[in-house]
Amino acid sequence: MSFLSISDATKSFGANTVVKGFDLAIQKGEFVSFLGPSGCGKTTVLRMIAGFETPTTGKVMIDGRDVTQLAPNKRRIGMVFQSYALFPNMNVFGNIAFGLKVAGLSKTETEDRVQEMLKLIGLEHLAARYPYEMSGGQQQRVALARALAPRPQVLLLDEPLSALDAKIRVSLREEIRDIQRKLGITTVFVTHDQEEAMSISDRMVVMNSGRADQIGSPAEIYNRPSTSFVAGFVGTLNILKAKVTDLAQRQVFVGGKTIVLNERIKSSDSNLLLALRPEALSLTPSARQDVAVEGTVSHVNFMGSVIRIRMDVDGEKIVFDMFNTPHLTPPTIGQRALAHFSSADVFEITA
Amino acid sequence: MKRSIPILPAITAIVAASYFLVPLFATFYFSLKMTRGTLSFASYQSVFQSDEFLATLGYSTLASLAAIVMGAVIIVPTAYWVRLKLPKLRPLVEFISLLPLIIPAVVLVFGYIRLFGSNSYLPMTSTDHGTNLLLVFGYVIMSMPYMYRAVDNGMAAIDISTLTEAAQSLGASRLRTIATVIFPNVRASIIAGSFLTFSISLGEFVLPSLLNRPAFGPYLVQLGQDRAYEPAALAIMSFGFTWGCMVLMQAFANKKPGQGVLPRLPFLSRKERRA
Amino acid sequence: MTMTPTAVSGEDHAATPGPRLRSTFGWSWLGVVPFFVFAFLFLIGPLLYLILGAFQNSDGAFTFDNIVALGGANIVASFSLSIRLSLLSAAMGAIAGLLLGHAVVLGGLPKWVRNAFMTFSGVASNFAGVPLAFAFIATLGRLGLVTVLLRDLFGINLYAAGFNLFSFFGLALVYLYFQLPLMLLIITPALDGLKSEWREAAEILGATRRQYWQMVGLPVLTPSILGCFLLLFANAFGTLATVYALMGSGFDVVPIVLFQQIRGNVLYNPNLGYALAVGMISIMALTNILYLLLRRRAERWQK
């Protein structure tokens, strides 16, 4: 039995349907991310869980209880906002204590709990600061502590890292994950950053125009995207043109060679598109790389530990990285080169 | 958190709207009753037939226009200069320009009468021209908070110092920078401030009354004491006039630079650019 | 309007800074000289003159007599009347404006309602003086439309019930016509500044609407409300034309008393006039200081 479930939820604003038939069941203690471009409906689903939106149809259940019509302040949910949304007229202590005060906790209980929370986020020394006196990262940690202080059943994070600098973004996401693991709290995290979603989640929901395109672990989603949208949105993809040689035997012709695909061919005509992750390609073949395509090197970007190479292959641009070593001579622009890959790493993608 | 029908806000809005609209309707209705037994625009006709009405309105219009020009001439360069060169003076300039908001007009004009009276160093009130000028200056002071706000906001919106630097790096002299870059961009704000000034000074009572000027405000008061229906007609017209000023002001305040409200303005700015 | 650039350039010519070193504090201050000269001549100067005059007798010798004369029963009564009227009308305007602002900005009404009220307020906040007095006489005067309608249709006789437009409360009701729109205009930016996330954050933390307003909404708005209240107070305190048009010269608010003094309709003593003016300036100054102090307290959580 799942702890938090959304079943067949739809949300329309007037004629505009932003969430369509959304189904999701989340286990207790699980960390689930909603990933998708802006306007895909991920925030609307989050706000349905919070109670700020009522689904047009469908149900939201928390811990076996139907909360679809329940007001937000009755749901025992913690939420962290992109803009921090700390109360500007209260200091850190006051902000964290807010939920405890409205819950009617005694003064000593409140103080103890706030101290505990301050310790959890490592900001014990800033209890008297006002929001304007803190950095964005500090404010967002306080917002997290404020959300967690009343011991919510579910924690919702609405793009909590988007307003922060790149460096803080990485360190804070690790901190959030650590705290979540420590408390074992069921968490939903909304983001448009695929790297963030993959690095932090137990499971991801990739959303596209109001629907959940794919739900799965980060590895599943990255390695076996179920739709071309997912494949394109998560990670970088290289596209190769190929021809079907034998539909029944799943044989296609690419790179001067006939290879066998892992899955059934979906394309209805003889042309099809094959997709490859950048890390499946290299200039120097390894033992399992059995196919190669030829192209012209168009860009060589030296990035330190890796070198990013772009090649034109039959009018398609492909990108891949090679690791830097002290003795390596990178290819030169305009040079013809072979990009090697394994036929086992290729998957078909529909346009 | 039901968002279906906001009952309480709707009731509040309706109550407020009636408080605002009922007096206007009552006044309008009253203004139509001059001819016994029927509703007519007789009171409006009567107003327009009065020479004094036209004379005082003309006088006040002139004084208000003069105040607008003076105000713009004093405030626009100051706001620009303070933003560009003397940001440290900004709190002081802002304080002074907002001061008239809390200084009652009657106090101000009392100071004028004493300071510029017939036996002072600058006896402005001893000639008609001097007194007229003093009236205009008074209006400039009274409308300064609004003019300064409007112009300063307009300048804040276009990042005056970057624009100036950009123009100068392209070789424009400062004079040309101001005439062809800054002014066209804040023109809308100046016009917005001008309409506010106009609506404040046109029917103003205290200053002309104590300076003995034949202006529209004192005429209105006098008429209010002497007649019954004409004042109502004037009240409606003055409300309509203020409304017109506000609508024009908002049209200009919300206008983006280069997009014309009046057809004349884009033409002007094109000419300036070519010059 | 076309004069403006010429004026700018003329002044600018004098102020064009030379090489960089000189310009740090060289000649750039010249650019603001016209403004300061004008403000000194026609704003600061007259006020200073009045303040100095308040401490002189008719021969120019220093004296406290005029200030002492402010303690006379009539003048104290005037100030008291003015302050009470201004406080009442500012309070009414502030509360009504806040309620209306809450309704049209945060109440979830259609956008056009808000726009209509804002445009109307721009007009009504400038609709003072004589026309306003006429409008209320036509509405709530003894023969006003509402008075007559209430009497004829519902049998309610307002004036018999104790209402009088030409009274303290009647005047406060008239003032509301420009105070309420002014409040709406100046409080709206503050209401817009209340982030919806604050309300949502409070709500998801278990707070009721009421708790949100008590603990977050109102405290955040307090500095703005204080500022608006002060402006409304000053606005009412200096109002002369509306009172004059409605009540004639018999209603002794301070501006009317001073007006009468200047007109010479009563026994004329310029130095007492100065004292009256200084009294008004002092009240404005005091309100401002009070406001600044209160705002400091209310804004301790701001930059």
**Contact state of C216 with A87 under an 8 Å Cβ cutoff:** yes
Q: Are C242 and C132 in contact (CB under 8 A)?
A: yes
- Tell me the residue length of chain B: 275
Provide mean pLDDT across the span A196-209: 93
Give the distance from residue A218's alpha carbon to the nearest chain C alpha carbon, in angstroms. 29
Residue A336: both structure tokens together: 């013809």
**C139 closest CB neighbour out of B23, B209, B217:** B23
Q: Which of C199, C169, C163, C187 is nearest to C81 (CA)?
A: C169
- The pLDDT value given to residue C4: 34
Q: Are C233 and C87 in contact (CB under 8 A)?
A: yes
Strands (E) across A74-127 are located at 77-80
Residues of C in Cβ contact (< 8 Å) with A14:
none
**Global confidence as pTM:** 0.81
Q: Are A60 and A6 in contact (CB under 8 A)?
A: yes
For residue A156, the cross-strand partners are A79, A188
Residue C281: both structure tokens together: 């300036």
Instruction: Determine which of A13, A46, A77, A89 to mutate to test the interface with C (most C C-beta atoms within 10 Å).
Output: A89
Alpha-carbon gap, residue B232 to B224, rounded angstroms: 9
- The pLDDT value given to residue C22: 44
Higher pLDDT, A140 or C28: A140
Alpha-carbon gap, residue A36 to B119, rounded angstroms: 80
3-state secondary structure at position A270: coil
The per-residue pLDDT of chain C, averaged, comes to 84
Q: In chain A, count of helices (H) and strands (E)?
A: 8, 19
pLDDT tens-digit map of A105-116: 999 999 999 999
- The pLDDT value given to residue C6: 35
- Closest-CA residue of chain A to C222: A89
pLDDT tens-digit map of B158-175: 788 888 888 888 888 877
Q: Which chains form contacts with chain B, at 3 or more CB pairs under 8 Å?
A: A, C
Alpha-carbon gap, residue B33 to C148, rounded angstroms: 15
Residue C127: both structure tokens together: 């609709």
Residue C123: both structure tokens together: 């007009």
Percent of chain A with pLDDT strictly greater than 90: 61
Give the distance from residue A71's alpha carbon to the nearest chain B alpha carbon, in angstroms. 6
pLDDT tens-digit map of C245-279: 888 878 889 999 888 888 876 556 777 788 888 89
Residues of A in Cβ contact (< 8 Å) with C220:
87-89
ipTM of the complex: 0.82
**Contact state of B242 with C4 under an 8 Å Cβ cutoff:** no
**Contact state of A98 with C205 under an 8 Å Cβ cutoff:** yes
Provide mean pLDDT across the span A122-143: 93
Using only C-alpha atoms, what is the Rg of chain B?
A: 23
**Contact state of A87 with C200 under an 8 Å Cβ cutoff:** no
Q: Which amino acid is at C234?
A: A
**Contact state of C201 with A79 under an 8 Å Cβ cutoff:** yes
Q: Is the pLDDT of residue B260 over 70?
A: no
Half-sphere exposure for B60 (CA within 13 Å, toward CB): 27
DSSP, residue by residue, C251-283: S--HHHHHHHHHHTSS---HHHHHHHHHHHHHH
Provide mean pLDDT across the span B198-213: 89
- The pLDDT value given to residue C1: 32
Q: What are the backbone dihedrals phi and psi of residue B33, each rounded to the nearest 5 degrees, phi first? A: -95, 15
Residue C34: both structure tokens together: 């016209």
**Does B1 touch chain A if contact means CB atoms closer than 8 Å?**
yes
pLDDT band, very low/low/confident/very high, at A183 (cuts 50, 70, 90): very high
Q: Is the pLDDT of residue B9 over 60?
A: yes
Residue C99: both structure tokens together: 């309620």
3-state secondary structure at position A342: coil
Alpha-carbon gap, residue A136 to A84, rounded angstroms: 8
Residues of C in Cβ contact (< 8 Å) with A75:
204
- Closest-CA residue of chain B to C179: B20
- The pLDDT value given to residue A351: 59
Give the distance from residue A72's alpha carbon to the nearest chain C alpha carbon, in angstroms. 5
**A99 closest CB neighbour out of C198, C205, C208:** C205
- The pLDDT value given to residue A206: 94
Residues of B in Cβ contact (< 8 Å) with A52:
1
Alpha-carbon gap, residue A136 to C228, rounded angstroms: 31
What contacts 24+ positions apart, CB below 8 Å, involve A310-318? A311/A337, A311/A339, A313/A240, A313/A339, A314/A240, A314/A241, A316/A238, A316/A239, A316/A240, A316/A241, A318/A238, A318/A239, A318/A240, A318/A276, A318/A281, A318/A293
Cα torsion for A220, A223, A226, A232, to the nearest 10°?
Answer: 130
- The pLDDT value given to residue C16: 42
Alpha-carbon gap, residue C243 to C250, rounded angstroms: 9
**C50 closest CB neighbour out of B13, B30, B111:** B111
Strands (E) across chain A are located at 4-13, 16-26, 31-35, 57-62, 65-66, 77-80, 154-158, 186-191, 203-208, 211-216, 238-246, 251-254, 257-260, 271-276, 291-302, 306-313, 316-323, 336-341, 347-349
- The pLDDT value given to residue A50: 94
Higher pLDDT, C188 or B157: C188
- The pLDDT value given to residue B255: 64
- Closest-CA residue of chain C to A154: C204
**Residue pairs between chains A and C whose CB atoms are closer than 8 Å:** 80
**C99 closest CB neighbour out of B12, B199, B217:** B12
Residues of A in Cβ contact (< 8 Å) with C212:
none
Q: Is the pLDDT of residue B264 over 60?
A: no
Q: Is the pLDDT of residue B256 over 80?
A: no
**Does C218 touch chain A if contact means CB atoms closer than 8 Å?**
no
Q: Which chains form contacts with chain C, at 3 or more CB pairs under 8 Å?
A: A, B
Residue C132: both structure tokens together: 């306003």
Provide the 10 A C-beta neighbour count for residue A263: 9
**Contact state of C206 with A150 under an 8 Å Cβ cutoff:** yes
Percent of chain A with pLDDT strictly greater than 70: 99
Pairing of strands A291-302, A336-341: antiparallel
- The pLDDT value given to residue C111: 87
Q: Which of A322, A34, A51, A337 is nearest to A191 (CA)?
A: A34
Higher pLDDT, C8 or A310: A310
**Does A21 touch chain B if contact means CB atoms closer than 8 Å?**
no
Q: What are the backbone dihedrals phi and psi of residue B222, each rounded to the nearest 5 degrees, phi first? A: -60, -45
**A73 closest CB neighbour out of C197, C204, C301:** C204
**Does C200 touch chain B if contact means CB atoms closer than 8 Å?**
no
**Does A51 touch chain B if contact means CB atoms closer than 8 Å?**
yes
SS (H, E, C) C127-172: CCCHHHHHHHHHHHCCCCHHHHHHHHHHCCCCCCCCCCCCCHHHHH
Residue with tokens 């807010």: A98
Alpha-carbon gap, residue B209 to C258, rounded angstroms: 13
pLDDT band, very low/low/confident/very high, at C20 (cuts 50, 70, 90): very low
Give the distance from residue A69's alpha carbon to the nearest chain C alpha carbon, in angstroms. 14
**Contact state of B190 with C127 under an 8 Å Cβ cutoff:** no
Percent of chain C with pLDDT strictly greater than 90: 35
Alpha-carbon gap, residue A307 to A317, rounded angstroms: 16
Interface of C with B in 114-133 (CB under 8 A): 117, 119-120, 122-124, 126-127, 129-133
pLDDT band, very low/low/confident/very high, at B207 (cuts 50, 70, 90): very high
For residue A241, the cross-strand partners are A273
DSSP 8-class letter at B255:
P
- The pLDDT value given to residue C115: 87
Q: List CB contacts of A293: < 8 A, sequence separation 6 or more.
A: A240, A254, A255, A313, A314, A318, A338, A339, A341
Q: Which of B210, B217, B205 is nearest to B113 (CA)?
A: B210
Pairing of strands A31-35, A203-208: parallel
Provide mean pLDDT across the span A1-22: 90
**Contact state of C8 with B104 under an 8 Å Cβ cutoff:** no
Provide mean pLDDT across the span C138-157: 89
What distances in angstroms separate CA C162 from CA B157, B271, C169, C176, C246, one per listed residue? 53, 66, 11, 20, 18
Residues of A in Cβ contact (< 8 Å) with C210:
none
Q: Is the pLDDT of residue C7 over 50?
A: no
B250 burial class (0-12, 13-18, 19+ CB within 10 angstroms)? middle
Provide the 10 A C-beta neighbour count for residue C113: 17
Q: List CB contacts of B271: < 8 A, sequence separation 6 or more.
A: none
DSSP, residue by residue, C103-123: IIIIS---HHHHHHHHHHHHH
pLDDT band, very low/low/confident/very high, at B4 (cuts 50, 70, 90): low
Q: Are B248 and B195 in contact (CB under 8 A)?
A: yes
Higher pLDDT, B267 or B31: B31
Residues of B in Cβ contact (< 8 Å) with C287:
102
